[in-house]
Structure formats: C-alpha cells, structure tokens
C-alpha cells in the first residue's frame, strides 16, 4: 500500500499517526488532513487506504 | 505608551479579549527567528500572525517557539487561499494545530494584487462564524463589504490600507474613515503600511489597531522599525482621541495682535 504524504509517495504508512511521524518528530502545532478532510489528533490512529493523500501542516512565518 | 494616553484611552478588546497594544504584527518576511523575536519585543505587540504550511523536515526551530518565548498570542491566517472552501479547511486545520478559534481570514482573488475576493470572503466568513470561529477578515476598503462582514458576525473587520507588501500607505483615507465611523466591531487596518506615518494616519482616521508585517520584517532594521510602529500607533491613537483642529484655507494667528507695539 502506498500513500502520499505532503506530496511524496510513501510505503509502510498505515495510519495518520504514521504519516505524521514520517515527516516530523514535533507534535505541538501540527495538524493533519486526509484527502482534504481535517483529522483531529484524537483520531490519528485511523487507518489509511491505498492512495490516500495526507497533508501534515504546521506554523510558518506569514501574514 | 504615555501616561496621559493610558489614562484617556479605553481598552482595546476583540471578542471579549483585551490587548495592551494596538499593534498586531505579521511574521512573514523575517530573515531569521532571532530578528523576528527582536522585532516582536520592540513592537510591544501581544498578538502575531502565522501561516499554515506543510512541515519542512529540514527546518531548524519553529516560529511557535519564538512566539512562546516572546509571550505573545498567536493568530493563524488562511494566507494563500483562493476559495472559501480552501480557507474554511485551513481555518479548521489551524484550530486543530494551535488550539485557537481565532482566525485571520484571507481569501485572495487576484495573484498580482493579492486583493481579497469579496464573494468568497463573505461566504467563508459566514461558514466560519457558524462553525464557532472568531473571524477577523482581511478585506478591501469597501464600506459596504465591511458592513456585510460585520453583519455576518465577524469579530473585527480588517480593511487594507493598500495591497499586501506594497508599503503604499493609506490609499483611500475617505473609505477607511467611513468604515471606522460605521463599524461597531473594531476596525483593524491590515496591509499596505510602509512606514510609521502610515500607521499613525490609519489610527488618526479611527482604526482601533493596525496589523502590519512587511514594513517591519523587510525594513533595514526591523527592530527599530517595530519600535517606530509602536510609537506611531500610540501617537495616532492619542491624536484621534485628542480631536484634531479643522483644516482651514487661510492662516489663523496663534499669537494675539492685541497689545502689539506701535513701531
């Protein structure tokens, strides 16, 4: 199974938590979306399906 | 802030939250986290904006650390969004990431001018108010749109002085004054400020606060410009409360002619 995390195809990513861990060690100030839908932190153990697109976002300078 | 201004002024409050500074600082454009921290401190601000972007695995330190270190509040924005749907999703992600329901709502309608898209903006504002957000919309300087955003339940309205990053100052003082005169919620002048006199002018026109980023972060000396903006906002606010004299076509002597010597 492969999913796309922040635009990059990755293997061995089973849950939203795995996807987050694949790109950052930080937990504070992080939000995740799967196929455009926000996934609350309490649901990060949710299983991903083949081809899911995960966005892992954080604060950056702006505005 | 001068003692006399502190005594005369009322509290600056948005949605029940009171701020000791009428300057809100955007963090975009700062060359480094150290420089940003210096600018935040010098500005005296209590609220700074951040954007939401993909995690950069190579980044060293987070802007959130700087904000925490400076002891100021965070106001996430929806910068870069071109549709209401995108902006609403970004706001929900920001709420999840930062644990705040406050959102600086930006929905851009044009890539060259970065002017707001009024239709999408109002649509997004209505949705986010319904979803329980405290919405601070970045808007054009249109008094009718400002009223519509206020009617939609926005906690403030944030008309531009000029397009983002231009530093052109208040392009339409009449419209900005109309918005200030009519609004019940705080009016925050957002974008287009170039230097201290622009910030002072926005406050003199009746704005409750000023939000700026580029003018400080891309100044040759950001911390010094931040200090200038702090003084300018206070000066403009004091002048507004003090009540300026009417403009006249002809001179009016400030020194009495009475008692003039016959020379």
Q: Is the pLDDT of residue A30 over 90?
A: yes
Q: Which residues in chain A have Cβ-Cβ distances shorter than 8 Å to B188?
A: none
Q: What's the CA angle centered on B217, arms B178 and B74, to 5 degrees?
A: 70
**Confidence bin at B69 (pLDDT 50/70/90):** very high
What does the pLDDT read at residue B59? Answer: 80
From the list A40, A41, A58, the residue facing B55 with the nearest CB is A58
**Confidence bin at B61 (pLDDT 50/70/90):** confident
**Confidence bin at A27 (pLDDT 50/70/90):** confident
Cross-sheet strand order for the sheet of B158-159: B102-105, B134-139, B158-159
Quote the DSSP letter at residue A43.
G
Residues 73-92 of B with CB under 8 A from A: 74-77, 79, 89, 92
What average pLDDT does this structure show over B47-75? 92
What does the pLDDT read at residue B220? Answer: 96
CA distances from B216 to A53, B73, B96, B221, B230 (A): 37, 18, 29, 8, 11
Q: Using CA coordinates, name the residue in chain B closest to A19.
A: B55
| Three-state secondary structure call for residue B260 | coil
B104 carries an active-site annotation: yes
Could you report the per-residue pLDDT of B157-200, keeping only the tens digit for each? Answer: 999 999 999 999 999 999 999 999 999 999 999 999 999 999 99
Q: Which residues in chain B have Cβ-Cβ distances shorter than 8 Å to A6?
A: 54-55
Q: Is the pLDDT of residue B60 over 80?
A: no
| Average pLDDT of chain B to the nearest whole number | 95
Q: Using CA coordinates, name the residue in chain B closest to A23.
A: B57
Q: Is residue B179 classed exposed, middle or buried when 0-12, 13-18 and 19+ CB atoms within 10 A define those classes?
A: buried
Could you give the ipTM of this predicted complex?
0.94
The two tokens of residue B96 are 């999840």
Helices (H), chain B: 3-8, 33-43, 63-70, 84-98, 118-130, 143-151, 173-182, 196-204, 214-217, 222-242
Quote the DSSP letter at residue B244.
P
């Amino acid at each position: 199974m492969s999913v796309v995390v922040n635009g990059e195809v990755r293997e061995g990513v089973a849950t939203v938590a795995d996807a987050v861990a694949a790109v950052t060690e930080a937990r504070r100030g992080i939000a995740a979306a799967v196929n455009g839908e926000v996934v609350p932190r309490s649901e990060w153990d949710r299983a991903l399906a083949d081809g899911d697109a995960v966005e892992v976002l954080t604060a950056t300078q702006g505005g | 802030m001068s003692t006399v201004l502190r005594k005369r002024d009322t509290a600056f409050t948005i949605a029940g939250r009171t701020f000791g500074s009428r300057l809100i600082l955007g963090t975009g454009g700062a060359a480094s986290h150290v420089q940003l921290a210096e600018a935040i401190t010098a500005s005296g601000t209590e609220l700074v904006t951040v954007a939401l972007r993909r995690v950069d695995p190579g980044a060293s330190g987070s802007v959130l650390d700087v904000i925490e270190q400076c002891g100021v509040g965070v106001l996430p924005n929806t910068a870069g969004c071109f549709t209401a749907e995108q902006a609403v999703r970004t706001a929900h992600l920001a709420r999840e990431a930062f644990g705040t329901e406050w959102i600086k709502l930006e929905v851009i309608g044009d890539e060259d001018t970065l002017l707001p898209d009024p239709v999408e903006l109002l649509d997004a504002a209505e949705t986010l108010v319904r979803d329980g957000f405290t919405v601070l919309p970045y808007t054009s300087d249109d008094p009718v749109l400002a009223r519509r955003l206020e009617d939609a339940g926005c906690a403030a309205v944030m008309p531009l002085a000029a397009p983002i990053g231009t530093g052109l100052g208040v392009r339409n003082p009449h419209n900005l004054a109309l918005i200030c005169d009519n609004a019940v919620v705080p009016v925050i002048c957002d974008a287009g400020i170039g230097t201290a006199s622009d910030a002072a002018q926005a406050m003199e026109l009746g704005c409750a606060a000023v939000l700026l980023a580029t003018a400080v972060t891309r100044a040759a000396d950001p911390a010094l410009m931040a200090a200038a903006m702090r003084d300018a906002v206070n000066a403009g606010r004091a002048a507004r409360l003090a009540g300026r004299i009417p403009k006249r076509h002809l001179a009016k002597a400030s020194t009495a002619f009475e008692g003039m010597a016959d020379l």
